[in-house]
Structure 1
Amino acid sequence: MQPKKIGLQLSAYTKEFNRNLNIAFPVMLGQLGHVMVGLVDNLMIGRLGAAPLAAVSLGNAMVFIALSLGIGFSFAITPLIAEADGAKDIEKGRSYFHHGVVLCTLNGVFLFLALLLAKPILHYMDQPPEVVALAIPYLEIVAFSMIPLMIFQAFKQFADGLSQTKYAMYATLIANVVNVVFNYLLIYGIWIFPRLELEGAAIGTLIARFFMLWFVWEILRRKKKFAEYFKWSRKEFLKPDIFKRLLALGFPTALQMLFEIAIFTATVFLAGTLGTNPQAANQIALNLASMTFMIAVGLGVTATIRVGNQKGLRKFKDLRRIAFSTFLLVFLIEAVFAVGFILLKDWLPTFYIDNTEVILLAAQLLVIAALFQLSDGLQVVILGALRGLQDVKIPTLICFIAYWLIGFPVSWYYGKAEQLGSMGIWLGLLAGLTASALMLYLRFNFLSKRLIEKKAVLA
C-alpha cells in the first residue's frame, strides 16, 4: 500500500484525537483525583512504616471490591444519557438521571453495610496479624464514605453522558485538597488535632467525599444547560421499566468491574501470604499502575459517550471510526507510560517508603506493570465502546474468562514463594489483561461491522 494512502487512512482516526482528548481530559483528571486520595494516604502512611502501609492496602482491597460494584452500576447512566442526548430527547434523559440517583443512593447504603458485615473475613485470609489489627478500624470509617461517593457517581455519570466532563473533575480535584489537609492534620496530630494515624487518613477520605458530593450537586444545579434535568416530578418518579433498563446495563457492567478489580485485589491477598514487605511492595506497584490506568479510563468514558451519540444518530460507520480512534490513542499513550515505568522503576518506589527490600520488590513488579500497560489500556477503552453500544452481557463473560479462568490460575500457581513470588502474581495479571483485550476487540469488531451491514441492507 502506498504511503500516501496509509497516511489518509490513519488521518481518519488521528483527526478525532483532539475531540477525544477534550472529552477525556477532565475525566482523566477526575479519575486521577480518586487515585490521588489513595496516593496521598499511601505517601503519608508509608512514613509510619511497612505494616501501616500494608494495612491500608488490605483495607482498600475490600473497599475496591465494593467500589467496583457501585461504580459499575453507575456506569449504566452514561450510555443511556448519551443516546438520549444524541436523539435530543431531554425527557427521557431526565428520567434516566433521576432513577440513576435513586439507584446509586441505595447502592451506597447497601455497600456500606456489606463492608461492615465483611470485616471478619480479614481474620481468615492468612494475613499478618498486625496488619489486620490496623486495617479494621481504617475499613470501618472508609466504608461509610461509600454513601456520598456513590451519589456523587450518579451526578458524574449523568454529566459525562452530556459530554460535560469538567464539573466532576473540578469536584474531585478540590476534594483532593480537602483530603490532603485533613490527612496531614489527623494522621500526624498537627495543631489542635489528635494523632490518629490510619484512622486519621480514613476520616480525611470521608470528609473529602462528602465535600465532593456537595460541590458537584451545587455546581450542576446552577448551570443553565442542566436546568431541565433538575426539574423533579412525582409522575415520572420510580418507574419500574427505567430501573430495569438501568439494572440490565448496570449489573453486567458491575460484574465486569468486579471481575477485574477482584483479580487485582487477589494480588493483595496473595502478596500478603508472602509477608508484610511483599504486600507493601505490591501496594506501591498497584498504586502507580492505577494512576496510569485512570488515563485509559478517561478514554473509555469518551468511547462510551461518542459511540452512544453515534448510536443515537444511527451513523454506524462514524461510530466504528471514532471508536477505533480511541483504541489507537490509548495504545500510543500507554506505550509512553510503559517506557516510563521501565526507566523509572528504581526511583518511583522511593517516594512511598525508605525500606530497601520493599523498594527492590516494587521495582521488579513495575517491569511487569510496564508490559501490561498496553493491554490494560486497550481492554478498558474497548469495554467503554461496547458499553456505548449497550452490549454488556457477552463482554461480562469475556472478562470472567480472561481474569478468572486464565489470569488468576497463573497468579495463584506462580505467585507461591517456592515459584516466582510477587513476580508470578503479576504475570497472572499480564495474562488476564492481554486475553481480555484480544477477546473484547474481536467482539467490538464483529458488532460494529454487523451494524453497518444491517443499515446497508435496510437502505
Structure 2
Amino acid sequence: MKQSHYRALLELGLPIVVGQIGVIILGFADTLMVGHHSSNELAAASFVNNMFTLAIIFSTGFSYGLTPVVGSLFGQGKKEEAGNALKNSLAANTLLAVIVCMVMFALYQNIGRLGQPEELLPFMRPYYLVLLVSLPFVLWFNGFKQFTDGITDTKVSMWILLGGNLLNIVGNYILIYGKLGMPEMGLTGAGVSTLVSRILMVLAYLALFFGTSRYDVFKRGFHRGKVNRKDFMLLNKLGLPIAGQMGMETASFSLSAIMVGWLGSTELAAHQVMIAVSQVCFMMYYGMGAAVSVRISNFYGQKDITSVKQIANNGFHLMLCLLVLTCIPIFCLRHYIGGWFTDDAAVSVMVVQLIIPFLIYQFGDGLQINFANALRGIADVRPMMWCSFIAYFIISLPAGYLFAFVCGWGITGIWMAFPFGLTSAGIMYYLRFRYKTKKGV
C-alpha cells in the first residue's frame, strides 16, 4: 500500500515540480538579466517582487480552496459538479482580483514612505504598475490550475507553465536589453514580458477547456451550473483561511525585505539573489505538496482515513529526498552563486553569508509545506491561520528585528529568524493533522 502511494504521489507531483522548475528558471533568468543590466535595478526588483509575491501567494492560497472541493467530488465521480465548482471559483477569484489590485494600488501610492533608498524609486514605480496590471491574470490562471490539479490532470499546468515561462524569458532578453529593434527598457521590460506571458497562459487554459473535447463532462457542469451562494461561500470559507495562512508566511519574507531595505541597496540586492535561490527549493516542495493535497482529498472523499495518514507520511519522505537533492549542490556552489547574478563583489560576499541560515530553514519549510497541504486535503484550514500568525508574526518577524538591529547581525540576523518561523509552523501543522486524523477527521 505504501509503495502505491509513493508511486501515485510521484506521478501527480513530478509534473507540478517540472512546471515549477519553469518558474524557478524564470526567476533565475529575471534576476540574472536584471542584475547584469544594473545593480540598482536588481535592488529595486527585490523590493517590488517581494511586495507582489505577498499578493500572489495570498491569491494562490485563496484558489487552493478549490482543490479539496474538486478533489473530493472527483474522488466520488461527481464530475459535472466539479465543473460547476470551477465556475464559482473563477467568480470568487475575479472578486478577489479587484480587492487585491485596490490594496496594491494604495501601497503604490505610498511607496515613497516605506524607507527604501531614494535612488531606487524611479526603477520601482513603472515596474510596480506593470506587475499590478498582470495580477488578475494570475488569479484566473490559478483557478484553472487548481481545477486541473484537483482532477489529477497535473500535466496540463506543467506544459502551460513551461511554455509561458519560456516566452517570458525570451521577452525579458528582448525588452531588458533592447534586442530585435525594441527599445532598451531595463527592469520595466521584465515587467512587460511577465504581463504578456501571464495573459497568454490564461488564454491557453481558456482554449483548452472551452475549445476541445478533453473536458466535455466538466464543461457541461460549468455551463449548466450557476454561481450560487452555497458554493461561493464554501470556496470562500476554505480559500480565505488558506490565503491568510500563506499570506502571513509570505508577509514574513516581504516585511523582512523592508527591514533589509533599511540596511542599504547592497543588502537588498543580496536578499533578492537569495530569494531567487530559495524559490528553487520552495517551488519543488510546493509541487510535491500539491500532490499530497490532491491525493489526500481524493481519499478523504472516500472516507479512507488510513490512506490519508499514509499519504501525508509518504509525502514528507519524498519532501526530505527533494531537500537533500537541492541543498547539497547549493552548499557546494555557495561561493559562485552571487557572481551568477551580479558583478558586484560586495553582494556576492553577502550571499555566501546567507547560505547557512538558508540551509537551516529548509527542513522547516519542507515540514510546513507537506502538512499544510495535508490539512488542505482534509479541508481543515481555519486553524492554520492562527498557527501562521504565531509562527511568523509572534516568532519570526520580531526575531529578525532583534537579531538584525538589536544584536547588530545585519541581514544575516534577518535570515537567521526564518528557521524559527518555518519550523514552528511545520510542527504546529503536523500536530494538528495528527490530532484530526486520530479522531477520524
Kindly report which structure 2 residues correspond to 1:2-21, keeping only aligned pairs within 5 A, or say none.
Answer: 13-21=2-10
Aligned residue for 1:333, secondary structure, equals helix
Indicate conservation of the 8 Å contact 2:323/2:366, yes or no. yes
Aligned residue for 1:185, secondary structure, equals helix
Indicate conservation of the 8 Å contact 1:109/1:146, yes or no. no
Which residue does 1:177 correspond to in 2?
Answer: 166
1:22 and 2:37 are equivalent in the alignment: no
Which residue does 2:139 correspond to in 1?
Answer: 150
1:355 and 2:337 are equivalent in the alignment: no
Which residue does 2:310 correspond to in 1?
Answer: 321
Which residue does 1:136 correspond to in 2?
Answer: 125
Separation (CA, whole Å) in 2 of partners of 1:447 and 1:254: 21
2:85 to 67, 87, 96: 96
Note the C-alpha offset of 1:198.
1.1
1:400 and 2:384 are equivalent in the alignment: no
2:203 to 206, 214, 220: 214
Indicate conservation of the 8 Å contact 1:267/1:282, yes or no. no
Kindly report which structure 2 residues correspond to 1:336-375, keeping only aligned pairs within 5 A, or say none.
Answer: 336-375=325-364
Moved more, 271-280 or 40-49: 40-49
In structure 1, list runs of 5 or more residues that go unmatched: 1-11, 453-459
Aligned residue for 2:439, secondary structure, equals helix
Which residue does 1:120 correspond to in 2?
Answer: 109
1:34 and 2:23 are equivalent in the alignment: yes
In structure 2, list runs of 5 or more residues that go unmatched: none
2:185 to 174, 190, 196: 196
Which residue does 1:5 correspond to in 2?
Answer: none
1:267 and 2:256 are equivalent in the alignment: yes
Note the C-alpha offset of 1:192.
1.6
Instruction: Report the TM-score when normalising by structure 2.
Output: 0.96
Q: Do the aligned partners of residues 417 and 47 (structure 1) sit closer, same or farther apart at CA in structure 2, a change above 3 Å counting?
A: farther
Alpha-carbon deviations, 1:209-236, whole Å to 9, x = none? 1111111222233554411212366763
Aligned length: 441
Note the C-alpha offset of 1:87.
0.8
Note the C-alpha offset of 1:131.
1.4
Moved more, 14-23 or 391-400: 14-23
Indicate conservation of the 8 Å contact 2:84/2:222, yes or no. no
Separation (CA, whole Å) in 1 of partners of 2:184 and 2:110: 28
Moved more, 168-177 or 220-229: 220-229
By relative contact order (CA 8 Å, sep 6+), the higher-ranking structure is 2
Separation (CA, whole Å) in 1 of partners of 2:107 and 2:23: 23
Which residue does 1:8 correspond to in 2?
Answer: none
Structure 1 vs Structure 2: percent identity of aligned residues?
A: 28
Alpha-carbon deviations, 1:288-342, whole Å to 9, x = none? 1112111110111111111101111111111111111001110222133222222
Moved more, 226-235 or 201-210: 226-235
Indicate conservation of the 8 Å contact 1:263/1:404, yes or no. yes
Separation (CA, whole Å) in 1 of partners of 2:276 and 2:99: 26
2:68 to 79, 97, 100: 79
2:404 to 415, 434, 439: 415
Which residue does 1:231 correspond to in 2?
Answer: 220
Separation (CA, whole Å) in 2 of partners of 1:233 and 1:405: 43
Q: In structure 1, give the amino acid aligned to 2:28.
A: L
Instruction: Report the TM-score when normalising by structure 1.
Output: 0.93
Alpha-carbon deviations, 1:112-147, whole Å to 9, x = none? 333222113321121111112211110000111111
Alpha-carbon deviations, 1:5-45, whole Å to 9, x = none? xxxxxxx6455322211101111122233343332221111
Indicate conservation of the 8 Å contact 2:12/2:291, yes or no. yes
Q: In structure 2, give the amino acid aligned to 1:160.
A: D
Which residue does 1:240 correspond to in 2?
Answer: 229
Separation (CA, whole Å) in 2 of partners of 1:421 and 1:283: 15
Q: In structure 1, give the amino acid aligned to 2:112.
A: H
